[in-house]
Copies of this chain bind each other. A is one copy, B any other.
Amino acid sequence: MDWQKTLHSWHERISQELDSVVDFWLRHSHDEEYGGFFTCLDQTGKVYDDLKYVWLQGRQVWMYSRLYRKVPRFQRPELLQAAKAGGEFLLRHARVAPPSQKCAFVLTRDGRPVKIQRTIFSECFYVLGLDELGRATGESHYQREALAMMEAIVRWVREDPSELGRPQLAGALPHDSMAVPMMLLNLVDQVSEGDAEVASRFKELDSWSAQRILSHVQRNGAAVLENVSEDGKELPGCLGRQQNPGHAIEAGWFLLRCALRQHNSDLQSQAVDKFMKQPFQSGWDPEHGGLFAFQDVDGLCPTQLEWKMKLWWPHTEAMVAFLMGFAETQDKELLELFHQVANYTFAKFRDPVAGEWFGYLTQEGKMALTIKGGPFKGCFHVPRALYMCEEILKSLVERKFAIQK
């Protein structure tokens, strides 16, 4: 295979696809009346529910702001206006009872709280969206609000979770869910960009989060487990055996960016070997292709009903991870993996008719849900992956890598 040609052709396909995906959200998701975004969109983009999930509001604010700030062809007023309207909606409505920093999980269209999760994730995407909005608009008050929320999140995770409202129960094993340090690592990456003062403030958190993620490598290095004890030991039962290959691979590129920030080559090879190659080997369905949603490290049957299903986001994250991994290491195996995953993903999830991607396939790759957006799928993983891959491919193509044939 002529890899230079292949990279060229992926660059072109991915750029075109990013245009089409962004166009889908621009056409269908804006709430002109209240600000913020409709994310419950059917195959054609029609709104089937007007609830506003705070994760997805924050993520779309981030995505629009990032595209506006970084990609010249998206420096369009309509993106920035919609991002601002989304940011203002979050500022007005996400926090349920200020001065508490706790945010709702889902709001009505006009911003009244419907449900609160006793976790940190609504707040994390609030930070992600507002920090990037501050950068795109140059209005620093958005970043100040993001940083204040970030302090609250760090306090909840590392000092005192009581404001989250989870009861302390005698039988609940204190444990580290990999999602938590992953989110923190992602946020440090976000808020530190180009700001030495903030980067230095969160330097220790950066390392702490990376170390926490590394503690999920278990079984003498042979597996990434989703949940481990606070001191990095394997936990009993389903909780302890749970694996999520897409999540491990996403952690891979989070760690790889951290390794770049920290000039840490050992972390770089752990990111690639333990969080990219290995979860792919064990998580890829040898029969039908695609990454399983969940696995049990002992090969037992997971209890998640969807464990065999193929979800969009593990595949978008694998595209990012393998391409980024290749760009940093020039390891051709990673480029081949990118090609394999990207081919599967474009063939199965893409909707060339109405735009955006389907999210949920059966094990066999048949469409299970026709929705383009819902309570957990919004304007985020697909355009983020396309934007990041476009950027990496551009640089690869320009560098005209001499790849060993």
Contact = CB atoms under 8 A, between A and B. Distances in A.
Given A51-B237, A237-B50, A308-B368, A114 B172 contact: yes
A49 interface: yes
A307 interface: yes
A374 B303 contact: yes
Interface in A296-318: 300-303, 305-309
A244 to B, nearest CB: 14
- A: contact size bracket: 35 or more
Given A303-B369, A305-B306, A305-B369, A238 B49 contact: yes
Nearest to A110: B171
A35 to B, nearest CB: 16
A370 interface: yes
A375 B305 CA distance: 11
A293 B188 CA distance: 41
Contact of A42 (B49, B107, B301, B360): B301
Contacts of A40: 237-238, 303
A8 interface: no
A172 B113 contact: yes
B113 A170 contact: yes
A326 to B, nearest CB: 32
A375 B303 contact: yes
A179 interface: no
Nearest to A293: B305
B42 A169 contact: no
A170 B93 CA distance: 11
Main secondary structure of the interface of A (DSSP, over half): loop
A192 interface: no
Given A300-B42, A301-B42, A305-B368, A171 B49 contact: no
Interface in A82-114: 96, 104, 107-108, 111-114
A93 to B, nearest CB: 9
A363 B360 CA distance: 14
A171 B114 contact: yes
A374 B296 CA distance: 14
A208 interface: no
A115 B305 contact: no
Contact of A306 (B48, B108, B306): B306
A53 B363 CA distance: 29
Contacts of A360: 305
A224 interface: no
Nearest to A165: B167
A325 to B, nearest CB: 29
A218 interface: no
A371 interface: yes
Contact of A169 (B115, B170, B305): B115
A122 to B, nearest CB: 14
Considering residues A96, A237, A360, which has the most beta carbons from chain B within 10 angstroms of its beta carbon?
Answer: A237
A269 interface: no
Given A49-B237, A238-B40, A301 B169 contact: no
12 contacts: A48-B237, A51-B237, A114-B172, A116-B169, A303-B369, A303-B371, A303-B375, A305-B305, A305-B309, A305-B368, A308-B368, A362-B363
Question: Nearest 3 pairs between A and B by C-beta?
Answer: A112-B171, A108-B171, A49-B237
